[in-house]
Amino acid sequence: MIVRTLADIKASDKNVVSKGWESARLLLKDDGVGYSFHITTIYAGAELPMHYKNHLETVYCISGEGSIEDLATGEIHEIKPGTMYSLNNHDRHILRGKTEMIMACVFNPPVTGREVHDDTGAYPADKAA
């Protein structure tokens, strides 16, 4: 069994800080459960173009407000506490934080550690997978 606290992860090198967001990675590939689990903070005013072409990501909004734009359709979905979105088609999107948002995120395959987005908005494929 794995038991961890958000406070401990935030104080460790598993808390990754990037432009417009930071993410406490509570479960990673090495934990061996087949996915990674993160609590991500999207900063107020952040505008984040992303395209996880090597991963599937599902996100649940715990607090805050914002939106996600589906770049394939132009559709914009409001995000508020209780909203879930799943990028089941590796969807290209822009995530916008109207306020600070706290999001629970799952990645399949799991991220391995300290990934941040590349120029295309992706994390690299895990070569060892």
Q: Report, in Å, the least distance between residue 40 CB and ligand 9YT.
A: 4
Q: Report, in Å, the least distance between residue 55 CB and ligand 9YT.
A: 9
Nearest to 28 by CA among 4, 48, 7, 51: 4
Q: Does 15 bind ligand 9YT (CB under 6 A)?
A: no
Q: Does 94 bind ligand 9YT (CB under 6 A)?
A: no
Q: Does 105 bind ligand 9YT (CB under 6 A)?
A: yes
Residue type for position 86: S
Q: Report, in Å, the least distance between residue 63 CB and ligand 9YT.
A: 13
Cα-based angle 121, 28, 78 (whole degrees, multiple of 5) = 45
Three-state DSSP class for residue 31: helix
Q: Does 103 bind ligand 9YT (CB under 6 A)?
A: yes
Q: Does 23 bind ligand 9YT (CB under 6 A)?
A: yes
Q: Report, in Å, the least distance between residue 28 CB and ligand 9YT.
A: 11
User: What residues have CB less than 8 Å from 76, skipping those under 6 apart?
Assistant: 67, 68, 69, 70
* Residue 64, phi then psi, degrees to nearest 5: 95, 180
Residues that bind ligand 9YT (CB under 6 A): 21, 23, 38, 40, 50, 57, 59, 95, 103, 105
